[in-house]
Amino acid sequence: MKKFLDEKLDEWILMIGFVVIILLVFSQVVFRYLIHIPIIGYFDELSRFIFMWLAWIGVAYAIRTKSHIRIGIFTEMIFRGKKHYVKYVELLIFLGFSIFLVVAGTQWVMEQQVSNFTSPMLNIPLWIVNLAIPISGALMSIRLIQEFIKLIKGGPKDEEPDTTPTI
């Protein structure tokens, strides 16, 4: 169970969410163009809300799979042989940002909860929709702490020799 929560939960959430979005959009097209019954915007709004959740959850997934975009040339050119230190700094900055998302996102959700705003079509409280921000910040923080622990346990590894051409 721990392995599933650590390695597969976010994948399953993303996969199920994308399947639901595909079904919602496909059924909206079928209803609108084949059956000639517009669903007005319920499915459209719901698919946008699910997509927003998936985008935020996807950030935590990208941290775990190390698939975020990075500018490696900066590290290669300036910090030769000291890349592990750059990795520590990178993780700490990213962790600070994710903690900021948790704190600021929670405050924002609480303000929305008090204001009692709802979505126009589905009448869903917007605080539920925007709860994705602090939850994803918490997931990002967990993933970043895991990466930090792996980096500390692994220690600084011997870097491969730099083969980039110099000018």
Q: What is the pLDDT of residues 125-153, one digit of tens each?
A: 999 999 999 999 999 999 999 889 988 88
Instruction: Give the pLDDT band of residue 1 (cuts 50, 70, 90).
Output: confident
State the chain's maximal CA–CA distance in angstroms.
65
Alpha helices in the chain (DSSP H): 2-3, 9-29, 42-64, 72-78, 83-115, 126-130, 132-154
Q: Is 56 helix (H, G, I), strand (E, B) or coil?
A: helix
pLDDT at 29 over 70: yes
Using CA atoms, how far apart are residues 87 and 99, in angstroms rounded to an integer? 18
Domain for residue 94, yes or no? Answer: yes
Domain for residue 160, yes or no? Answer: no
Tell me which residue range forms the domain holding 119: 2-154
Domain for residue 165, yes or no? Answer: no
pLDDT at 115 over 80: yes
Instruction: Give the pLDDT band of residue 71 (cuts 50, 70, 90).
Output: low
Residues ≥6 apart with Cβ < 8 Å to 130? 105, 108, 109, 112
Domain for residue 166, yes or no? Answer: no
Strongest mean pLDDT among 66-70, 86-90, 99-103: 99-103
Q: Residue 56 has what pLDDT?
A: 92
Tell me which DSSP letter residue 70 carries.
-
Using CA atoms, how far apart are residues 28 and 81, in angstroms rounded to an integer? 55
Domain for residue 161, yes or no? Answer: no
Domain for residue 20, yes or no? Answer: yes
Domain for residue 163, yes or no? Answer: no
Q: Residue 108 has what pLDDT?
A: 95
Say how many domains are in the chain: 1
Q: Residue 157 has what pLDDT?
A: 55
Separation of first and last alpha carbons in the chain: 53
